[in-house]
Amino acid sequence: MSENTYVINIGRSLGSGGRVIGKRLADYFRIAYYDKEILTLAAGESGLSPDIFERNDERKGFFRSVIGSLAPIMSGDFYNNQLSDDELFRIQSDAIRKAANAHSCVFIGRCADYVLREKQRKVNIFVAADVKDRAERIMQSQKISLKQAMKLIEQGDNARANYYNFYSNGTWGAADTYDLCINSSTLGIDDTFELVKEFVIKKVHPILPEGREADIPEIF
């Protein structure tokens, strides 16, 4: 695995702002950003429809398989024409490794920290937030009620935790699984981004794009 590149892997609770922070990091360091983009990449590599990866995105269904128009890679009888969750994870993981070898990246979720565990230049971050802030953010973005937002939070966190805990050797959201766990409600999104940015600079020493500051404040 190429060590000329580095990766920033971000796990996040639903509505915590982790995706926003990840996109800002990618923009700041001028590196590739993969959220749902990794699903498109995996689909392109495998010849499968992106819808298949979308329906299984960060979900683990022990008795679910996808059966359908899989002609590009599948053949044989009924049992051989089943694409399991585990096979989708393998295909997606291959796409993540290929992208991380090609260029420096920010990956949002999808067990990228575990998939890239052998990579030396990496930062694994988990972004949480107070449930009130999470609910308000979801209510605003989805235009839904507080009750609906709370339901989405419960369902989303459970799905992500089950997925991560099944496929990785860590525990979703647990401090000892990541390099940095941070509550974005404490500092707000802007200052949380600033703190995470400086942490990334200190840990992986990226070559900063022209015009980016290199000084690291004395906060570590």
Query: Per residue in 204-216, pLDDT tens?
Result: 999 888 766 554 3
**What pLDDT is recorded for position 68?**
42
Class of domain 7-204: alpha beta
**What pLDDT is recorded for position 183?**
98
**What is the percent of the chain where pLDDT is above 90?**
67
**What pLDDT is recorded for position 209?**
81
Query: Which region among 47-61, 96-110, 148-162, 180-194 has the lowest average model confidence (pLDDT)?
Result: 47-61
**What pLDDT is recorded for position 70?**
41
pTM: 0.84
Binned at pLDDT 50, 70 and 90, residue 64 comes out as very low
Query: Per residue in 151-191, pLDDT tens?
Result: 999 999 999 999 999 999 999 999 999 999 999 999 999 99
Binned at pLDDT 50, 70 and 90, residue 144 comes out as very high
What are the beta bridge partners of residue 83? 66
